[in-house]
Amino acid sequence: MCGIVGYVGPKSTLEVLIGGLRRLEYRGYDSAGVSVIANGQLETRKKAGKLNNLVAEIEAHPLPTAHIGIGHTRWATHGAPTDGNAHPHLGGQTSRLSLIHNGIIENFAELKAELLASGTKFSSETDSEVAAHLIAKAFERTGELVAAFTEVVNRLHGAFTILVIDQDQPDVVLAARRNAPLVIGLGEHENFLGSDVAAFVEHTKRAIAVGQDQIVILRAESVEVIGFDGKPAETEEFEVDWDASAASKGGWPSFMAKEIADQPQSIADTLMGRLSHDGHVSLGDLAALSPEYIKNIDRLVIVACGTASYAGDVGKYAIEKWARIPVSVELSHEFRYRNPIITPNTLVVAISQSGETMDTLMATRYARELGAKVISICNTQGATLARESDATLYTHAGPEVAVASTKALTSQITATYLLALMLAEARGASAPAELARLGKELLKLPAKVTDVIENLPQAMALGTAHADASSVLFLGRNVGFPVAMEGALKLKELAYIHAEGFAAGELKHGPIALIEEGQPVIVIVPSPRDADSLYPKVISNIQEIRARGAKVIAIAEEGDATVGDYAESVVFVPQTEPIFSAVLSVIPLQAFALALSTAKGLDVDQPRNLAKSVTVE
């Protein structure tokens, strides 16, 4: 949510800000704005709608050349998405200070009442403008911008990243972070700030993640980081492991199409250096988990939201089967509000692409307070979740720009496979020969995903053919169940139609009432080769719904000679270990949703009302 960019240096500030905001569009937004200081004067332009609206506004009312500024894309919380509510917000009677904000200021009402009582006039409905006026008034009183800024951020409750510039101090950008992401970019005679590294990766790969309750004093030749208590804070520099080209479409019609096609490489990168040619898993990333601790784990809890929770559901099957540890998958926003039972022998695994999902962060903080160890599966270097976990398994999937997750999901699932195999070996829960066999089969996954990608035109044609559908149902069993739920979620996100995923065994317990003539139903069909296969039961489910007029699309394993007798259409995926099939079978569902949404003329990269990274509870 909300994209934030700050810059000070010799380049054209407007080009840096607009370029950074474009690379942050994936976060989701409904208005945009910039403020710069040039020739001692603060200038601001902002506009509701897409970034192109702001660009048009600047073309109509040009900004002077500047070398310091801040930029923002807003995802509305307090106040509708209007020009007036767009950021930046100006503070003080003379409007010499400009502020941008990501997050929610929970005590804004009492602070606003205080300001109104003193005669302050407001021009927006936002909580953010409250902070702008408070800082401006404190600066007028103290004459010290850093002191005023520090005073005010200590009064704010909730989640926020705040950036401020003031025309009376035209060489410095101030920033503060509490429960919302912020990263510093380090350049030569220039420095940057951003919600994530995408904001400045075109200019530098050197970065510092800003810690909780820290303030940044950013100048062209220096970066100072202090705590909210004013004391110097420790920082750690890291290097971004991808470049700006990875966050461009590269000729694809959408970022989502590109990221679906990226999956063979992103899965291979998740496995790289962790899985040897003989199938042995080595996770140096998780060295914080001692062999003794692993053997004493009595329960594993996966916390995640949305698509990441479905990755956790697949991981549950793998961990329980191979490592023999009981696993529960919890929605992060429910976990800490129901007084869960957590002990020092409970391992908590948090899954988040961005590592900034506020619900997941709060769940893991709660788990650690209860004495649990926390490891995270994350895609973003320097993310808060990674810094607050005992250990992190990075997926190395590269930037995912489309709001609807594709390659992040399959990389997260792959990471849970690695975790399951590592735990199984460390606990002696499965035979070494069996674990080696599984590891070797996992090594084949990127090549099999390539085969799936090459055959996606069929799934996309089916999506296009169903563009007029008002409802699509998804059925699956075992790992096919979370795949079905993820398929339904993708369709809801992208096409704005009713879609639901069910465990196929639940069909007769209620959902079959939804079946009517012509109802499209996508069924994830398990392998008929597995001795414990649920194949006959799923075929029976198909027959039950077809008898009531449903039109079935089956996602089935190559070599299944029977399924075609029961389905109107069949999309085949390569044979693999049954638990690994989740990765292969979910990809045609991504393509189906992409094609259906495209046929409806919708924006597949930035669906309405959605944000890529949900940084508020």
| Active-site residue list | 2, 612
Q: How many CA atoms lie within 13 A of 291 on its CB side?
A: 5
pLDDT value, residue 614: 66
Q: Which residue has the tokens 């009376």?
A: 168
Question: What is the side-by-side order of every strand in the sheet holding 169-178?
Answer: 89-91, 97-105, 158-166, 169-178, 214-219, 222-227
Average pLDDT over the chain, rounded to whole? Answer: 92
CA dihedral 596, 613, 330, 105 (to 10 degrees): -130
d(CA 333, CA 172): 38
pLDDT at residue 338, as a whole number: 85
Note the pLDDT of residue 416: 98
Domains in the chain with CATH codes:
3-246 (3.60.20.10), 255-443 (3.40.50.10490), 455-604 (3.40.50.10490)
Q: What is the pLDDT of residue 613?
A: 62
pLDDT at res. 612:
61
Q: Cβ distance 380 to 209 under 8 Å?
A: no
The residue ranking higher by pLDDT, 191 or 336, is 191
What number is the average pLDDT over the span 572-580?
96
For the stretch 49-97, pLDDT in tens is 999 999 999 999 999 999 999 999 998 888 889 999 999 999 987 789 9
More confident residue, 185 or 103: 185
pLDDT digits (tens, 9 = 90+) for 233-292: 999 898 887 666 666 777 889 999 999 999 999 999 999 999 999 999 999 889 899 999
- Where do runs of H (alpha helix) occur along 225-338? 255-261, 263-271, 291-296, 307-318, 332-335
Asked if residue 615 has pLDDT above 70, the reply is no
How far is 249 from 22, CA to CA, in rounded Å? Answer: 12
Give me the sheet containing 471-476, strands edge to edge.
498-503, 471-476, 520-524, 551-557, 569-573
Over 90: is that where the pLDDT of 532 sits?
A: no
Compute the distance between CA of residue 12 and CA of residue 9 in angstroms, rounded to an integer: 8
pLDDT of residue 95: 81
Express each pLDDT in 470-511 by its tens digit. 999 999 999 999 999 999 999 999 999 999 999 988 878 888
31, two tokens: 């208005």
Strands 569-573, 551-557: pairing kind: parallel
Pairing of strands 520-524, 471-476: parallel
pLDDT in tens, 396-405: 998 888 989 9
Q: How far is Cα 460 from Cα 527, in angstroms, rounded to an integer?
A: 23
Give SS3 for 609.
coil
Give the pLDDT of residue 312.
97
State the average pLDDT over residues 339-358.
Answer: 92
For residue 208, the model assigns a pLDDT of: 95
Work out the average pLDDT over 162-171. Answer: 96
Q: What is the arithmetic mean of pLDDT over 603-611?
A: 85
> For 369-380, what is the mean pLDDT?
94
